Amino acid sequence: MTVNVNNVQVISKDGQAKGLGDYSGKVLLIVNVASQCGFTKQYKGLQALQDNYGPSGFEVLGFPCNDFGAQEPGNLSEIQNFCQSNYGVTFELFEKVHAMGQTTEPYKTLNQTEPAGDVAWNFEKFLISKEGIVIGRYKSNIEPESSELKLAIEKALQS
């Protein structure tokens, strides 16, 4: 099943609804993030991807999520401060979401991506084409700077 995110509405850091279709023409990496997780160090790699591929039309979008082991207890301001001071994060962070169970967007839509089902843990990644189509789903153990993910990003940027 082809999953398109262009009609998905999310809540931006200023509390306003924002459509993922606003990013049309850019390759996106959507990630559910958490500040107290064993994978939290991936923030560094995510920022490196943003720095490396951002000028070519790539955006990392971070969605804080407290669904897994209550590892993201803070509010968005606390999360942003943590990410900036510890990892130099400049990519966009959104309001907290639910990625499993009673999901909220963007995960109501993203979890339909094959293999369909709820996100399994923090730092699961979804690669979105310039046209808004989900073209890849990567489990938490796939590091942001893995050759598998970087090659997929590069291919998507060339399309």
What is the set of active-site residues?
Answer: 37
Helices (H) and strands (E) in the chain, counts: 4, 7
Residue linked to tokens 């598998």: 148
Question: Is 30 within 8 Å of 64 (Cβ atoms)?
Answer: no
Q: Give the integer Cα–Cα distance in Å for 102 and 79.
A: 22
Cα 159 to Cα 142: distance, rounded to the nearest angstrom: 23
Q: Which alpha helices (H) appear in the chain, and where do they start and end?
A: 42-53, 76-87, 107-110, 147-158
